[in-house]
Chain A
Amino acid sequence: MIPAAVDYVRADSAEAAIAALAEAGDEAKLLAGGQSLVPLMRLRLATPSVLVDIGRLDGLSGISIEGDTVGIGALTTHSTLEHSADLAAACPLLAHVAGQVGDPAVRHRGTLGGSLAHADPASDLPAAVLALGGTLVVAGPGGSREIAATDFFTGFLESALGADELLTEVRVPVSTGGWCYQKFNRRAQDWAIVGVAVAEGGAGVALVNMGSTPMRAAGVEAAVAGGASAVDAAAVAADGTEPPTDNNADGDYRAHLSRVLTERALTAAGA
């Protein structure tokens, strides 16, 4: 299968990428690693008029730890996150989850920023960043702004990112408290049928594939904060969610999975 015809612009700076987006209008797409976008283009589920390739921009890749904050350039690959000893020490949940995405070949090309901007509720990394209470830094024509991860995911494959904005950095707190990522799937390399990310012993809990967006499990977090046991806190994991029904599972089954996986994750994280 071959993507539809498309124009291609290789940006040599963030400013040039933003300018190219502004010029092309809302039919343009940013191309980073392309591990989500190219498959969609091949299926012609995505038919952008212009691709703005930011894949080789300098300065948007790498991990820096300053004080209590881990800053990760948006173009940092899953493979880099997975293998970073610094990240494993400062934020082991994120390093671990990066290693659970797809397969090694996908992780060599896929980027953290791309995964978040794609806003797929079935993706692993958005849940990790939500559970960690991360912040996304985006640049646009008027400068840069910060968006809390909890405000970033607005709908199915939709985010708060403007059509002429570029995600440049992801910031998460240093987080070495109890953590766990539970990913349930039935096929190698597949997306999670349901996943649960837990940070800081249950202070942050987020769900994968339990609705139209990646989402925090606020009820579970509140229960843990109130001193509930892992079993009791996990019992409310599916409350307020609208899990999808598809070939892998129906909504009720996903709700059940979310409770089981949340209990396991909270227990492993020491809640």
Chain B
Amino acid sequence: MEVSVTVNGIARSADVEPRTLLVHYLRDVLGLTGTNVGCDTSSCGACTVLVDGRSAKSCTLLAAQVDGADVTTIEGLAGADGLHPMQQAFHECHALQCGYCTPGMVMAAVSLTDEYDDLDAAGVREGLEGNLCRCTGYQNIVAAVLAAGE
């Protein structure tokens, strides 16, 4: 079936099987490999992207479900004038070690800070409960999200 999605502002279209997951559409069909596959069980959030501006786990959506939608991946976050403020904050706060969770963590954080006002550290931790990091721990990630919101 034909699935058309605007990805990072560019209209894309491809003929895929109905069972194709959005994450595979992004990675294998469009070659956008910034979105990672982690747990494959909807738990870890490494595959988080924005669908119409809100975080979604791209391993838990069929590409067909987002036909016609706007999808933003980590590749589409930086603008012409440099990194997105959330990316910059992750950089400055050293909110990553191996970096595998980082694309999903950043996308979830962008959605979270857009959705909830006046987040404190506890709110960030709860809001990122769907994104797992197995190496740095969460201290600097929480610091980065708070810094980006300032």
Contacts and interface: CB of A to CB of B under 8 A. Distances in A.
Chain A interface, >50% SS class: mixed
A51 B21 CA distance: 14
Contacts of A102: 130
A109 B71 CA distance: 14
Nearest to A35: B60
Contacts of A43: 41
A8 B1 contact: yes
Interface string A2-15: 11111110100000
Interface in A129-160: none
A261 B62 CA distance: 38
A34 B61 contact: yes
A35 B67 CA distance: 17
Contact of B129 (A3, A4, A189): A189
Interface string A102-125: 111110110000000000000000
A105 to B, nearest CB: 4
B111 to A, nearest CB: 7
A53 B112 contact: no
Given A35-B60, A42-B59, A55-B65, A104 B19 contact: no
A105 B129 contact: no
Contacts, number: 89
B54 A6 contact: no
Contacts of B48: 105
Nearest to B48: A105
Contact of A104 (B62, B64, B67, B130): B130
Interface residues of B, number: 32
Interface residues of A, number: 31
B129 A109 contact: no
A39 B45 CA distance: 13
A4 B19 contact: yes
Contacts of B55: 104-105, 108
27 contacts: A6-B18, A6-B19, A7-B18, A10-B64, A31-B65, A34-B62, A34-B65, A38-B42, A39-B60, A41-B19, A42-B41, A42-B59, A53-B64, A83-B115, A103-B45, A103-B129, A103-B130, A104-B127, A104-B130, A105-B45, A105-B55, A106-B60, A108-B56, A109-B51, A109-B56, A189-B129, A189-B130
| Among all A-B residue pairs, the 5 with the closest Cβ atoms | A103-B130, A8-B18, A188-B129, A105-B55, A3-B19
Interface of A: 1-8, 10, 31, 34-35, 38-39, 41-43, 51, 53, 55, 79, 83, 102-106, 108-109, 188-189
